[in-house]
Structure 1
Amino acid sequence: MMERMDNICKSEVKEGPSKSHMQQCKEGQSHTFNFQYKGKKYAVTCDTSKTVLDALYTNDCFKDFKEDNMEKEIVIRRSKGEVPRAAVKTDFPCCLIEKDELLDITFIKNTGHVDTKKKTTDRLSFSNGSENLVIFYIKTKGGEKVKRLMKNNELRNEVDDVCVYAFKDDKLKAALRRDGRFIDVIFKKQCALREFGSDINHEMSNTVEHLDRKYFEIIVISDKNQLDSQDDDLCDVSTEMNEASAADLKESVDPNQHPIKTEQEETKNRNPMKSTKTSAKYSKIIDSKEILGILRSQFKDLLETLKQRENLKNKSEVQTFLRAEYDKSVQSFLEVKKVKQLMRLSECVCQIRVEESARGTGFLLFDRFILTNAHVIGEFDPFSWNLSKTFTAVFGYEDLEANETKCVPIKEQIAAYYYGKDNMDRYLDFALLEMKVTDEIVNCPGLLSRYVPGPPPNRGKICIVGHPEEGVKKMDPCFIIGRENRLEAADKHISENIEFIHVMRQQFLAEKWEMHDNQFNYDSCFFHGSSGSPVFDEDCYLIGMHTGGYVYPGENGRTRSIIEYSYSMQPILERIITQAKNSGKSDTLKLLSEYKSLNLYLENNDVDMEIDPQNQEDCR
C-alpha cells in the first residue's frame, strides 16, 4: 500500500503529445513554472505528472488566495502555446505546461452551473498504461447560431479562448463533456467544431487525434435534436453532471432554430414502439435530467471495470453476468431468515462510552467479555493494564429516546490487548474488556458462537453492524474488494477526488498507510464511532472486526476515506488465547475451551511463553 500510494500521490498522467512531454509524464520529472496573481509573480516547482491545481497547491501563497475565493471559479490562463491567453482547466496536466511558463490566475463569480470542487480526471487513471495527449483551442463566444456556449457567462466575458486537453482515442463529444465548461445544448443539438482558416467541420462523433494544436469555433450544423442512445453513452462518457438548466438550453441557440423538445417528447422518440396509452400514473422525478446525466456519465467506466475484472468480451456476456449477479445480490441479507438472524446477533453489539461520551463500538464476544479496537480505549497504565477512565458498554441503543438501553460498567483492568505488528508481521488492533455485571445482559450467547476459523475472505458480501457517527445502531451491507482490485478501487476514489490529493498525500506520509495480510477491504459508509463493529459474511458468520479506513479531511472538513478495512478474527483470537495462557487466566481459558471451533485443548501448566502480556513490548 505504501509504495502504491507513493505513486498515486504523484498523480500520474498520460503521455504527452511530444516526445519530451511524453518522457516527462512517464518519468515524473521535476520542472518549474510561474504564476501571477494581482500583478505579483510566484514560482512553482512541481512533478510533471501532477495536475496544474495540484502543483499550485504546493505554493503556500496560492493556498491563501484559493481560500479567500472558495466560492468562486478559478481561471488559469497560459502565456504560451498556439493561442496565448487561452484558459485551461484545473486538471490540466503539468507536463503540457512549458518550462518557466507564466500562468495568470484570476477568480470569477461562480454562476452555480460549474462544479468548482470536483474535477474530472476519470481518464487520469493511476494504474493504467499511458496514452498520448492532444490539446486544442475553442473560442468561448461560439459560431453560427450559437448565442451562448460556456456554462459560466463570466468565463466568456473574462477570456476569449479555452484550451482543452484530451486523449487521442477520445471522441470529441466525450472530451468536451469531460472538460465540463461547455453547456449541454451542444451535445443535444447537432454541433461541430469549425477550424479557423478552413471550411472543415469536425463532428462530435469524430476522435480528437487530428485536432492537436488547432483552433476552432463551435457551430450548429443542423436544427434537429440528436436522440440519446445507449451506444452513445457507452462511447461518450463524462464524469461531470449534466447541469444545464432549461433556461440555458433556450438561451443557447438562435430563436430561428426549432424549439428544443420536452423531456416527454424525447422519451417518446427514444421509445417509438411503445404505446402512449397506459393505465399507470407517473409523477415527474425532481432533477431527473441531472440524475440521468450522472448515471450515464458513470456507466462506461463501470462497464469497462466489470469487463476487465470478470474477463467479459461482449454485451451478451455482460448481460448474462449482470442477471446472475443481480439474482445473487437480491438474495443476500434479504432472506427473512437471515434478516432475523442478523437482528438477533445485533443484540450483542454495543456502543462504547467513555465517561458518558460515545467513543466507538464493541460486541459481546463470549460470556462477559467485550471485544473492541485498541484505539477506541486509548491510553492506559502499561504496568497494571488499568483503564485511566470510566468505560461503559451500552446495549440496545437503537433509538434516540434510548428508553430500552442497558448501560453496563466495564472493569478497570483490561483482559487482553494488542496494538501494532505481532511477531508474524500481522497488524492487530484489539482490546478485550470485561463487564462488571455477570447476569444475562442480552439475548445472545456471544458472537464467538458464530465464528469459524479461516483466513480473511477475498470476495463476497458482508454486513457491518455498529454505531457510526456516535449515533444509534445501524447496519451496512457491502461487498468485499478483492486483493487484486484494491489498487483499482483506490485509483478510482483518488481520481474522483483529485482536488484533495495533496491532503491524501499528507495523511499517507503522516500515518504511513499500509495494507496487511490479515485485513480485508470494502467501501463502507461507517466512519467515526463504528470502530470495533462486528463484520458478518453472507451466512451471518463472524469474520472480522471493522477497524477503520485510509481517511482524510474532505470538503468542509468532512471525513472521507479511500477504502475501509477490517482485521480478520483468527489472529485476534490467537493472541487472546496466548495472553490468557501467559497470564495464567484459567477461568478465561476454561470459557474459551467450550468453543470447539477454536481447537483449544488445555493441559495442566499449559503456558505459552511466546509473549508475556505484562511486557510493555506487547502493548504497542
Structure 2
Amino acid sequence: MAEPHEHQFKVKFSQHHAEEYTIYCDQPCRVLEAIKTLDIYEEKINCADEKIIIQMGKGDNECSIATHFPCSCIEDNEVLTISCTSEIVEEVQPDFKRSENICTKDRYSIFYIDKVGGKDTKSKDLFRNNAVKQFKYLCVYGEKGITVEDALNRDGRFIDDLGYFKLSENENTITECTQKVNKMDNKKFKICLQRQKNKNAYSSIIKVAQQKGKHVKKKETNGDADTNEIDELLREQFPDLKRWMESDGDLYKQALNLRKENFQQSFSEVHRVHKLLELGKSVCKVAVKDVSVGTGFVLFDTFILTSAHYFKGSVHENKLKENVDVFAIFDYEDPETETNFYYFRAKDTFIDFDADLDYAVLELNPEGSNPTLQKRAQNIKVPPGLISKFGSLPDNEWVAKKLSFDTMESK
C-alpha cells in the first residue's frame, strides 16, 4: 500500500512559455501519472507516453527523469518541463505504468548518468533516443537493495544491449554494474563499457569454456551441493536418469562399476556400455553470462535439463531477463578447449522452471557455433538426449504431456 504524503511541484509544457502549473500530491505516484491529473494535459501533450521527455533542474544540475520516476523523490516546488519527441525515448515496463508500492524518498537512491560516456563508449550509442543528450544528465532511481544494472535496465531510456558495464565517478573510483545502488545517492557517473577485443563475441565464451577446465564435473560432485541439489522430484520421475546423473564426475569409468540391479539389467551388454560412454557427450557446461556456470544434460532433441539456482536474479515470469545470455557448451573437456568446443545459445523462454525444486528445462537454438569457425553451423548438432536411451517416458502426467507435445512441435 502506498505511503501517504503531501507535497507539490510545478510543470511547464514548453521552455518558451512562462506558465507553470502547480500539482498537489497527497499520495505517492509516478510523476507522469501526477502530471496527467491536470485538465490541460491532453491539450498540451498529444504523443504516446514512450515519446515523452521530462526535464528536472537547471544549469549544471539539468537532467531528464523517466516518466515512471516516483513523485516522492521530487523536491517541493521543483519545476518540471514536459515535451514530446517523434521517436521512442523510453520503453516503459507494464509494472511502472501503475503506482503500487511507490515508497518514500528515503527508500530510494537517486543518481545521475552523464550524457557523455566514459571509457570505450565512443563507438556505441548508450541511449534509446539521443534526444536525451540535450540535458547534461539522466537522473536514475533505484530501490535500495537492487543492483545498478537492474536500475538502468528498468529505467527504459538506455539501450537494451548495454551488456556488462561500469560507472566511473572519476578516474580512480569505479562502481561495477553488479553492485547495489544503496550508497549512490546524489552521485554523478559516466558509463564505461568493456572493450570488445573480439567482435564476433567468441572471446567471452572461450573464457567460460576454460573456466574450471576438465575438472568441472569432479568439483561439482566432490563439492558440497551442485549435483546433489538437482530436485528430488525430477529424480523420482526419471529413475534411470537419476542413476546416470549421480554417476556424474568420473562418469565414463564409474559407469562400468555400478552394481545396482536395475542398472545391470539395462546395461549388462557391452554395446550398451559403449552407448553410455557415447552419451557422455550429452553433458554440457551451462553458462549464464556474467552470473554463473554449471552442468546440464541433453534430455532429447534440443532440450536440456539443468539446475534453477544457476539463474538466480536472471529470470522473470518464466523468461530470461533482457540482456541475459545463456549458452550450452559441449566438448569443453578436450585438451584443445580453445578450438574444439562448440556451443548453442538457449532460447529466452523456459520450457519449465521451478526454483523450489531447483530444476530448469531450456530449449537450445538448433544452430551451433565453433570459435574457430572451422565447423559450419549446420554441421554442428546437439548431442543425443538421454530420455530415449533410458526407457519410456515417465509416468508423471505433466511431464509426459509436456515432453510429448514439445516433441511433436519440434518435428
Q: TM-score by structure 2 length?
A: 0.50
Aligned to 2:129: 152
Residue among 312, 330, 339 paired with 1:234: 312
Q: Does residue 114 of structure 2 align to residue 139 of structure 1? A: yes
Aligned to 2:208: none
CA distance in 2, matches of 1:241, 1:59: 36
Which amino acid letter does the alignment assign opposite residue 89 of structure 1? Answer: A
Which amino acid letter does the alignment assign opposite residue 178 of structure 1? Answer: R
C-alpha contact (below 8 Å) 2:54/2:67 kept by paired residues: yes
Which amino acid letter does the alignment assign opposite residue 86 of structure 1? Answer: C
CA distance in 1, matches of 2:341, 2:184: 44
Determine helix, strand or coil for the equivalent of 1:184.
Answer: coil
How has the CA–CA distance of structure 1 residues 276 and 270 changed in structure 2, closer, same or farther, with 3 Å as cutoff? closer
Which amino acid letter does the alignment assign opposite residue 70 of structure 2? Answer: P
Aligned to 1:194: 168
Determine helix, strand or coil for the equivalent of 2:51.
Answer: strand
C-alpha contact (below 8 Å) 1:109/1:154 kept by paired residues: no
How has the CA–CA distance of structure 1 residues 174 and 95 changed in structure 2, closer, same or farther, with 3 Å as cutoff? same
- Written as runs of structure 1 = structure 2, the 5 A alignment for 1:25-104 is 26=3, 28-38=4-14, 39=17, 40-66=19-45, 68-70=46-48, 73-79=51-57, 84-104=61-81
1:278-333 CA-to-partner distances (Å, cap 9, x unmatched) read 9xxx9xxxxx99x72xx49xx9xx98xx76xxxx4xxxx3439xxxxx94545789
> Aligned-residue CA RMSD in angstroms?
4.7
Determine helix, strand or coil for the equivalent of 2:57.
Answer: coil
1:565-608 CA-to-partner distances (Å, cap 9, x unmatched) read xxxxxxxxxxxxxxxxxxxxxxxxxxxxxxxxxxxxxxxxxxxx
CA distance in 2, matches of 1:61, 1:267: 51
1:443-501 CA-to-partner distances (Å, cap 9, x unmatched) read xxxxxxxxxxxxxxxxxxxxxxxxxxxxxxxxxxxxxxxxxxxxxxxxxxxxxxxxxxx
Q: Does residue 134 of structure 2 align to residue 175 of structure 1? A: no
C-alpha contact (below 8 Å) 1:120/1:179 kept by paired residues: no
- Written as runs of structure 1 = structure 2, the 5 A alignment for 1:462-611 is none
C-alpha contact (below 8 Å) 2:332/2:341 kept by paired residues: no
How has the CA–CA distance of structure 1 residues 331 and 85 changed in structure 2, closer, same or farther, with 3 Å as cutoff? same
Aligned to 1:211: 184
How has the CA–CA distance of structure 1 residues 216 and 51 changed in structure 2, closer, same or farther, with 3 Å as cutoff? same
Q: TM-score by structure 1 length?
A: 0.35
Which amino acid letter does the alignment assign opposite residue 188 of structure 2? Answer: Y
CA distance in 1, matches of 2:52, 2:132: 10
Whose radius of gyration is greater, 1 or 2?
1
How has the CA–CA distance of structure 1 residues 205 and 159 changed in structure 2, closer, same or farther, with 3 Å as cutoff? same
C-alpha contact (below 8 Å) 1:91/1:121 kept by paired residues: yes
How has the CA–CA distance of structure 1 residues 133 and 72 changed in structure 2, closer, same or farther, with 3 Å as cutoff? closer
- Written as runs of structure 1 = structure 2, the 5 A alignment for 1:302-313 is 312=356
> How many pairs does the alignment contain?
255
How has the CA–CA distance of structure 1 residues 186 and 124 changed in structure 2, closer, same or farther, with 3 Å as cutoff? same
CA distance in 2, matches of 1:52, 1:234: 31
C-alpha contact (below 8 Å) 2:331/2:341 kept by paired residues: no
CA distance in 2, matches of 1:94, 1:129: 9
Determine helix, strand or coil for the equivalent of 1:223.
Answer: coil
How has the CA–CA distance of structure 1 residues 161 and 216 changed in structure 2, closer, same or farther, with 3 Å as cutoff? same
Determine helix, strand or coil for the equivalent of 2:52.
Answer: strand
Residue among 137, 141, 161 paired with 2:137: 161
How has the CA–CA distance of structure 1 residues 72 and 223 changed in structure 2, closer, same or farther, with 3 Å as cutoff? closer
- Structure 1 residue 63, shift from structure 2 partner: 3.2
Which amino acid letter does the alignment assign opposite residue 174 of structure 2? Answer: N
CA distance in 2, matches of 1:203, 1:61: 43
- Structure 1 residue 238, shift from structure 2 partner: 7.5
Determine helix, strand or coil for the equivalent of 2:41.
Answer: helix
Aligned to 1:602: none
1:115-172 CA-to-partner distances (Å, cap 9, x unmatched) read 3x5455499764999982101000122112213211112222x322101101221111
- Structure 1 residue 192, shift from structure 2 partner: 0.6
Q: Any gaps of 5 or more consecutive residues in structure 2?
A: 206-286, 293-310, 335-339, 361-394, 405-411
C-alpha contact (below 8 Å) 2:28/2:102 kept by paired residues: no
CA distance in 2, matches of 1:138, 1:235: 24
CA distance in 2, matches of 1:271, 1:33: 61
Determine helix, strand or coil for the equivalent of 1:173.
Answer: helix
